[in-house]
Each structure stands twice: as C-alpha cells, then as structure tokens.
Amino acid sequence: MAADEHPLLKPALGRLNGKVAIVTGANSGIGRATARLFAREGARVVCCDIQEATEPRVDKLIEGDGGKALFARCDVTKQDDWDRAVAAALENFGALDIVFNNAGGGIRKLIHEHTDDEWNFILNLNLNGIFRSARAVMPHFLKMGRGNIVNTASTFGLLASEKYPAYCATKAAIVNLTREMALDYGPKGIRVNCVCPGSVETARFRGVPPKATGEFTEEQRARMAAANKALLRMARPEEIAYGVLFLASDESSFVTGHALVIDGGQTIDA
C-alpha cells in the first residue's frame, strides 16, 4: 500500500462539525491537504479544481478517510463555474459556511518580458478569482448573516522575490483585499483572513501522490528550504492546512483581516 501522503494530519477533534466548505485548487498541494483536514474535522467539502489527474482524486481520498466530499470542476476565473460550485454546496450539503480561495500560481520572468496573455493569466487566476468567488458567495453569506473566507496569499505578498512580478503583485493585493473585505463584511458577521505560506513541498517537489514533476533540481530545492530561514526546511502542506483550519474554525472567532504568516522564519529578519 502507498504511504499516506499526509502523515502529519492528526486525529480529528470535530472542529468543523456541521460545516460545509468550498476549497479551490483542492486536488493538489495545500488545497488537497486542507480539503482533507477540513473533512477530517467534520466539514462536508466541495473540492474545486480544473484537473482531476491527481490520483486518487481528492474527494475519493476524503471518502476513503470516511469523510464527505464532492468534486466540482471549477475554474476560479469563471463566474459560471463559481455559481455552479456554490449551487453544488447548497443542493448537496444544504449549506455553505467556509470558502478557501486557494488556487493560484505564478510565472518567473522579468516584467518587461511578460506577454499580455501571461500577465493577464496570473492576475486573473490569483486576484480576479477571489473577486469572482466573492460575487458568488457573498449574497449567500449576507443572507445567512455569517460566513468565513480564507485566501491563500504568500510571503511573496509581503516581500519581493526576483523575476516574479505578477505573482508578487497579486499576492500583495490579496493581503490588502483580505483586510478591505474584512472591513466591509465584518459588521455582517463575515470574517475574511488569509495565509502567507513560505515555501511548501507541494506537487512540484514531492513524491507520490501527488507526483513530483521533476521541475526542480536538488540544488533549487535546497535553496527553497534555506529560504525558510529559521527552520531551514520547506513546510509540508499539512502545516499550512492547520493554519487555514484555525482561521476557518470558530476558534478564531475574533480574528479578521489577518494575514497569518506560516513561513519557518522566512520573513523574520531584515
């Protein structure tokens, strides 16, 4: 039998009992670990992704754990897909309490070398995806008078990283959009927070499943680990998932507009 891909997940405490969550980018990396943790903690999870290739698909992984989930093919940049994902939550699970806007990515290139398509692709994925999420989700949250949103930003939304202009710009935008949305919707009972991970061992780096792509050399990997300056290793996706769980659960009921840095010390010195 294959080794458990998330060995750091602990026995459940029921921290999301009765909740329904949408997780985007759910079939890989941080999203996959978080969807699995949410389900372990009692949530029913709508797992949104544009790819189903990672085996077992995340909803099957969750069902194998004894949890409840469904897979929704949802491109976060498309409003119709978002509307369908929200409808899937309400129709299948009768509620929607938590949205984890996690799908994202970047292209390493100097800004003047970007094509229009590349630039717009990253802005659309990382930033407009959250706009489209809000348009689909907020009417429901406002009607309920409660709701919880967690966004995935990055330490590269707080610091610069070379040749990563669209990524750094959009991740910084997510940090401040999180604050702005927290301000607008807090009085309505809706909390909005984000996580800022340092480098994390996700599909690009890890063994099966999800499969590593071989895109990174050992030397690059070592450099990424060293960048998390105090702990000198990359995070496991589960270590980000537990931060998301805190923000998504009622344990953080007085926390909103916050950017939770989970970075092994990457950002602690000058």
Smallest distance from the beta carbon of 93 to ligand NAD, in angstroms?
Answer: 20
Least distance from C-beta 38 to ligand NAD, angstroms? 15
* Residues 152-171: x where in contact with ligand NAD by CB under 6 A, - otherwise, as a string: x-x-----------------
Q: Which stretch binds ligand NAD (CB under 6 A): 2-10, 22-30, 63-71, 249-257?
A: 22-30
Structure tokens belonging to residue 85: 């994902």
Among 103, 168, 241, 260, binds ligand NAD (CB under 6 A): 103
> Per-residue contact track with ligand NAD, 53 to 82, x per CB under 6 A?
---------------------xxxx-----
Residue 29 interacts with ligand NAD (CB under 6 A): yes or no: yes
Which residue in the set 34, 133, 148, 199 belongs to the binding site for ligand NAD (CB under 6 A)? 199
Please choose, out of 64-72, 85-93, 102-110, 132-140, the segment that lies near ligand NAD by the rule CB under 6 A: 102-110
For every residue of the chain, which 3-state class applies, written as one string? CCCCCCCCCCCCCCCCCCCEEEEECCCCHHHHHHHHHHHHCCCEEEEEECCCCCCCCHHHHHHHCCCEEEEEECCCCCHHHHHHHHHHHHHHHCCCCEEEECCCCCCCCCHHHCCHHHHHHHHHHHHHHHHHHHHHHHHHHHHHCCEEEEEECCHHHCCCCCCCHHHHHHHHHHHHHHHHHHHHHHHHCEEEEEEEECCECCCCCCCCCCCCCCCCCHHHHHHHHHHCCCCCCCECHHHHHHHHHHHHCHHHCCCCCCEEEECCCCCCCC
Residues 6+ apart with CB under 8 A from 201: 234, 235, 236, 237
- The distance of closest approach from Cβ of residue 145 to ligand NAD in the complex, given in angstroms and rounded to an integer, is 28
Is 167 known to be catalytic? yes
Which range binds ligand NAD by CB under 6 A, 6-14, 84-92, 140-148, 192-200?
192-200
Q: How far apart are CA 161 and CA 132, in angstroms?
A: 27
Least gap, CB of 196 to ligand NAD (angstroms): 7
Q: Which of residues 113-152 bind ligand NAD (CB under 6 A)?
A: 125, 152
Contacts (Cβ under 8 Å, ≥6 apart) of 144:
189
Contact with ligand NAD (CB under 6 A) among 19, 24, 181, 238: 24
Determine if 22 is a binding residue for ligand NAD (CB under 6 A): no
Exactly one of 70, 90, 142, 203 binds ligand NAD (CB under 6 A); which one? 203
Find the residue with minimal CB distance to ligand NAD: 29
Indicate which residues carry an active-site annotation.
167
Which parts of this chain interact with ligand NAD (CB under 6 A)?
24-25, 27-31, 48-51, 74-77, 102-105, 125, 152, 154, 197, 199-200, 202-203
